[in-house]
Chains A and B, each alone.
Chain A
Amino acid sequence: MPHAYIPILIFALLAAAFPVFCLVGSRRFGPATLEKIEAAEEARVEDSTTEAGREKPGTMASFIAALFVILSVEVVFLFAWAVKFAEMGGYGLILLLIFVGIPLAGYAWLYKKGVFDAI
């Protein structure tokens, strides 16, 4: 079975060779933009430390990320379920209603409570 992945491995190596080639190539032949970049970097660092540096970043984002993890678990199980669904028929539908219904009910409750207002 993992034979199918050998071409993918070769493909991945080739794909990885592309950026590596570019990076090495740029070191050899690329235009010398290093000083320019450094200057821009310094400017940017100064800019960020003055105004927005202390702002607390992304609590909302991490909340969404947590929701995303839950959703991903759900989705991964559902992929396995979807492949088997045609054989399972009505039984599969009941499984879906249980497996999706319970978290979805919680989701709806949170929705009503106004948790997602902040998003």
Chain B
Amino acid sequence: MDSFGLISLPAAVPSALSAMGAVLALPLLVAYTAFIERRIAEAMDERARPVTPGALGLLRYVARIARVGLGQDEGQAELRRRIFAMAPAIALVAALIGYAVMPVGPAFQVADPNVGLLFILGLGALGIYGVLLRGEASAGGRIAMDFVNHAAQVVSCQAAAALGLLSGVLLAGSLAMGQIVQAQLDQGQWFIFYVPAGFFIYFVGSMAAMNRATAELPAADADLFSVDALADATLPAPFYVLADYVSVIVVAGIATTVFLGGWLRPMASFRDRVPGTTIEILDIVPVVAALGLALFWYRRVRSHRTEMQKKAAATASGICAFVGLALGISLFVSAAVMAAVHGAFWFGLKVGGYIYCFVWVRFTLLQVERERLMRQLWRIVIPVGFVNLITTAMAVVGTQDTGLPMRLTTIAATVATLGAGVWLAKYAGSEAEMQAAEGE
């Protein structure tokens, strides 16, 4: 078997093309993620916005991504031994390759290997080298120690996240990303409704696993996109920041695929059609919604006073109109095109929503310091992850043996998991109190 034969290369051309598209689109995606994060941060801090970006403002983010890439790492390459110079690139590339197995709609997936989910997790495990080597590169002492401790946090969180994902894989019975989505279509339910506890564990784990310490985030006034920051060598190397944003998107993509139904629309099993056509009723909803939003923003253009606000509203209106038209036109072309465009739309929407919640929680709730987070992880989250796995397995077996609907058994499983979590939290809390008493 000539596994790497040249014969198979032509077959790979379309996927290679979509790979190229994905890589080229990446700075754009990262830019918008950063933009969302920044806007939320501003809202949370009630910070004055320096600029309200319109169409050009958003493009400026893209330009700055390029500048960040071009700006600083030269010094690192000159100053460090070779592996240290490689470290940020390792972090970035490891994060980037995760895109290759993301099922962005039924048509847009670079490759769907048999072990897709583990593949992404393995790449995440490689990303830890970025953190560790960065610590090594930072000339020893307290900074290095900080990075080592931080890396310990990252690996703990990765373990917790993997445990959360396991419950989803259990229901899907496959590690291939496409098949996980397909399983949710077949079972008529997104897995978040079957294993909400698993989703929650994944959410917590993945949030804490982000490379930047949660505590340093809001304080980072001199953020990625201030031009002064580029010249300031004490900031982390830009590639790390890029890798961080990239992995936020990857993390959101995994959550979307495993728990939120991937490219399926809500109520995917409801397949009634408009009489006399092949168009499904529910597929019209996003078209109408997008066009309605476009109209809404268009009207806002006139009511706004400043030039900037007008520009922003016009941009939003344009984007919504474009999305709405694309969705609408694809309805009439062919079933395959419709599935591709609508799938990509839903996937993008879910990823965007996940990132929004992610950033939101990161800026509000998760202001705990690192040590406390670690303690909660090893004391509560990881044991509860195992309990969740066991209860979910019991629910599946219960459904198989007794014929009760999945909905009932999984609710029972979730309640049991929650009970275990509450008990553990109480136990850990009382122990901490005892310790505090002893300490006094």
Contact = CB atoms under 8 A, between A and B. Distances in A.
B375 A75 contact: no
B111 A96 contact: no
A115 to B, nearest CB: 10
24 contacts: A3-B12, A4-B113, A4-B114, A6-B12, A14-B23, A19-B73, A19-B92, A21-B69, A26-B72, A34-B74, A36-B231, A40-B234, A48-B144, A57-B148, A58-B152, A60-B149, A67-B378, A72-B125, A75-B159, A79-B166, A85-B393, A86-B396, A96-B389, A116-B375
A19 B122 CA distance: 21
B306 interface: no
Interface of B: 3-4, 8-9, 11-12, 15-16, 19-20, 22-23, 26, 69-79, 88-89, 92-93, 96-97, 99-101, 110-114, 117-118, 125, 138-145, 148-149, 151-152, 155-156, 158-159, 162-163, 166, 169-170, 173-175, 230-234, 239, 371, 374-375, 378-379, 382-383, 386, 389-390, 393-394, 396-397, 400-401, 431, 435
B110 A11 contact: yes
A69 to B, nearest CB: 9
B394 to A, nearest CB: 6
B124 to A, nearest CB: 12
Contacts of B151: 61
Contact of B12 (A7, A27, A55, A90): A7
Nearest to B152: A61
Contacts of A60: 149, 152
Given A34-B78, A37-B75, A107-B383, A23 B141 contact: no
Among A14, A16, A72, A93, max chain B CB count under 10 A is at: A14
Interface residues of A, number: 77
B99 A27 contact: no
B9 to A, nearest CB: 7
B170 A26 contact: no
A29 B396 CA distance: 59
Which 4 A/B pairs are nearest by Cβ-Cβ distance?
Answer: A48-B141, A52-B142, A37-B75, A22-B69
Contact of B112 (A4, A15, A38): A4
B429 to A, nearest CB: 13
A25 interface: yes
B16 A83 contact: no
A60 B378 CA distance: 13
Contacts of B143: 44, 48
A109 interface: no
Given A22-B73, A52-B142, A116-B375, A44 B234 contact: yes
Contact of B141 (A20, A33, A49, A64): A49
A90 B394 CA distance: 8
Question: Is the contact region of chain B dominated by helix, strand, or loop, or is it mixed?
Answer: helix
Interface of chain A, helix or strand or loop or mixed?
helix
B353 to A, nearest CB: 26
Interface string A59-73: 011101101100110
Given A41-B79, A92-B393, A33 B113 contact: no
Nearest to B109: A7
B156 A23 contact: no
A7 B69 contact: no
A2 interface: yes
B111 A119 contact: no
Contact of B397 (A11, A64, A93): A93
A18 B139 contact: no
A97 B391 CA distance: 11
Contacts of A96: 389-390, 393
Contacts of A22: 69-70, 73, 239
